[in-house]
Amino acid sequence: MKMKGQYLERTFIRGLETTATYLPQSQEFILHSPTLTSMKWWPGNLGKTVNHAVVMAQLFIRGKKHGIHPFIVQLRQTENHQPMKGITVGDIGPKFGFNSNDNGFLKLDHVYIPRENMLMKYAKVSPDGTYTKPPTDRLAHGSMMYIRVAFLDATAEALAKACTVAIRYCVVRRQSEMEPGDKEPQILDYQSQQPKLFPQLAMAYALYFMSMRTMKIYDNLLVELANGNYSNLQDMHALICGMKVVSTTTMSKGIEVCRLACGGHGYSHASGLPDLFTMVTHFQTAEGKNTVMLLQTARYLVKCASNAVSGENLSGQVEYLSESPQGKAAVGSYSDLLNLGVLHDAYKHRAQR
């Protein structure tokens, strides 16, 4: 996608090079990595641990491509943990953090698996090679939803840990007597500290409540999918992409604010903050790079806004775009700023604008 001479960042999923070719005569798939760039890279626990993996590959039947589908592939022998025939697998090496997780690489060289190893809840391949399409192509959006929803809770927990360490430190740490002979005050009482830490504490609560709300919406979506209702799938995909970005970016920046608020002690591993930061900051690129995730949400919102301008009545998370434009939220006193209804209207007005 090109705009004003610049290319917008995106992930070229449909260009996946790993292939899965079906053989009707033996009822098997041949999985193959035909190029260096088709090797799998980054999956957690792949480097040294797992014996089986769900591998995404382009499905070919009698020379016709049917798009990306998931396949269960045995990687290592259960008897001696050695790689199976045609499997090249290993660890990608040290990372910025989280090195307890053996992220790995995988190359497949004409690996045969039985037909039953294709996950066929929606798309199906019969023994004779007849292909049955899934009810909707949007089901591809759901493959990474759960882990992204799980990130929301993890980011709230990580930021809460950082706030706990930093605020407790600022209560115990005393520095610089205000008047000669006075007891040194807690550094939390300094006005320069409170604007750093209190917003992070509030955000930790906000992320936690947001994660619970999003998980509830996700659980409802699973019920709808089980009943054959796919109408909210795209809406949920856009919501989770946006929430993943907001939560992981806010969390990562917030932990660094907490670390710096602890002065030199925040640089010490004894504080726990350096390990915490390196453990979770990769959430910003794991399971979807944040820039790409933002673009997916943005494209969806622009499309919905265009439909709303055309007179279409929207539903779900974007229903507000179809409503009449809100006037300025009425704020007549300080107490109005504590009124959730007023705050809700203000945010809705800003989102519509």
- Which among 216, 100, 210 has a CA at the least distance from the CA of 155? 210
Note whether 103 and 42 are within 8 A (CB).
yes
Distance, in Å, from the CA atom of 353 to the CA atom of 347, rounded to the nearest integer, reads: 10
H, E, C per residue of the chain: CEECCEECCCCCHHHCCCEEEEECCCCEEEEECCCHHHCEECCCCCCCCCCEEEEEEEEEECCEEEEEEEEEEECECCCCCCECCCEEEEECCCCCCCCCCCCEEEEECCEEEEHHHECCCCCEECCCCCEECCCCHHHHHHHHHHHHHHHHHHHHHHHHHHHHHHHHHHHHCECCCCCCCCCCCEHHHCCCCHHHHHHHHHHHHHHHHHHHHHHHHHHHHHHHHHCCCCCCHHHHHHHHHHHHHHHHHHHHHHHHHHHHHCHHHHHCHHHCHHHHHHHHHHHHCCCCCHHHHHHHHHHHHHHHHHHHHCCCCCCHHHHHHHCCCCCCCCCCCHHHHHCHHHHHHHHHHHHHC
Note whether 104 and 89 are within 8 A (CB).
yes
CB atoms within 10 A of CB 188: 19
- Catalytic residue, from 116, 157, 287, 312: name it: 287
- To the query of whether residue 287 is one of the catalytic residues in this protein, the response is yes
Angle, CA of 281, 284 and 290, to the nearest 5°: 165
Q: Distance between terminal CA atoms of the chain?
A: 26
Task: Give catalytic residue positions.
Answer: 287
